[in-house]
Structure 1
Amino acid sequence: MTPKRVWVVEDDTVYRRMLSRVLNRSDEISECRVFPSCIEFFDALENWQRPDMVLMDLGLPEMSGVEGIQELAEKAPDVSVVVLTVFSEKEKVFEALEAGASGYLLKSATGPEIIKGLQEVSLGGSALSPAVAKIVLEDIRKPTPTDNYKLATREIEVLEKLALGMSVKEIATALDISKSTVSTYLERLYQKLQVQSQSGAVAKALRSGIIK
């Protein structure tokens, strides 16, 4: 991928410094800035060139990571967020994904695994630690009450393709429609499901029983 600007929001000083070293050593990262809280992060967002991606902890002082993800989705929806946290509970995972996170990594991830996750998100995919992916898969298998959010058949088809990990281009080919049409469907889905990202749309659709 083209080198990206990555900012880190992490209140643990030791872990924050470690992440900074890992990211600064990577050829995939052109800039790394670190912040101990969302408050300082958003202050910097007003004054510096925006990052391409953000690594966001969840257990942060003053403003939680999920609140930070939601606010960032409003202020800078083009900036991707990858959660990096110790929390592996299902509720935390889906809360973050539905808030707009494009990935969810645990702090047990190695440096190369974190870089790989950022690469996947940069290419339009999502990044999930194995334990988190297991949680998502287990939730898919459970029967859930259906709430279709008044989705059209074609919108559900787009969601199903997203759940398979397809890109916008691949979905367009599979459904024999243009990429711009797929993007239009995605915009409608985000509005109807009240989410900010592809991973958030898939997570909410799975939990609501819209797709299996």
Structure 2
Amino acid sequence: MNRKIKIMLVEDNPEYRRVIEIALKRDDGLELVNQSGTAERALRSLQDMSTRNVPDLILLDLNLPGMSGLEALPHFAKAVPDSSIIVLTQSDNEADVLKAISLGAKGYLLKSATVQQIKDGIKTVVEGGSSLSPAVACFILNKLKTKLSQNQKGDLLSERELETLKLLGDGLQKKEIADQLGISTFTVATHIRHIYEKLEVPNAPAAVNRAHRLGLFPKDD
């Protein structure tokens, strides 16, 4: 981007607003075009077409008087859909992080970040990337790892599908599985079909082998 990146700052602390204002003025590639102490005032300024200066990026605090940053996020996204949003807050609460990202924030920076980190984050997001404070990035990665592990070891197959697969691995036929589980052979066939689809395999031996590799069976099975 050759022109200056236009930025809106929504922050209720005047001293911190001043810190950000000074930092942005010292960067030739950045321009602070609007700053507000409340989300309501910022949104009104975007709706006033006579003075409207659409920002490329919005720096949004979460703990604001009146409408919170999380409440305001979808309103900003609707008012200026082409503007990116970075949450800039003191809150490292996991629920706030996940909610902000789910609502469309392209970055989540803590106020403990240096002004250089904030400026770098702005440029990264405007160029199409995302920006997270290290502590937030670590939390997100751990969350993804946990989710992946759950998908592989718990959520991939239902409890009844796992029971069916174990019996298949023991060499039982559909009728025998149905009798042991107290269900119909039609239901067994449905479970088996779903197992093959979820594990992306063509037959029972391949399904059992893949289940073992994914750790779906206890090690002593």
Displacement of 1:44 after TM fit? 0.9
The answer to whether the aligner puts 1:117 opposite 2:118 as a matched pair is: no
The SS at the match of 1:100 is coil
Displacement of 1:72 after TM fit? 1.2
Distance 1:138 1:9 in 2: 30
Distance 1:49 1:63 in 2: 22
Distance 1:22 1:69 in 2: 24
Unaligned 5+ segments in structure 1 are 148-212
Displacement of 1:100 after TM fit? 0.9
Displacement of 1:77 after TM fit? 1.2
Partner of 2:14: 13
The SS at the match of 1:6 is strand
Larger Rg: 1 or 2? 2
Distance 2:36 2:78 in 1: 20
Larger relative CO (CA 8 A, sep 6+): 1 or 2?
Answer: 1
Give the ranges of 4+ consecutive aligned residues of structure 1 lying more than 4 Å apart after TM superposition: 144-147
Partner of 2:45: 44
The answer to whether the aligner puts 1:89 opposite 2:90 as a matched pair is: no
Q: 1:128 aligns with which of 129, 132, 137?
A: 132
Q: Which amino acid aligns with 1:24?
A: K
Q: CA RMSD in A?
A: 1.5
Aligned residues: 147
Which TM-score applies when normalising by structure 1?
A: 0.66
1:153-198 deviation digits (Å, cap 9, x = unpaired): xxxxxxxxxxxxxxxxxxxxxxxxxxxxxxxxxxxxxxxxxxxxxx
Unaligned 5+ segments in structure 2 are 157-221
The SS at the match of 1:8 is strand
Partner of 1:142: 146
Displacement of 1:42 after TM fit? 0.8
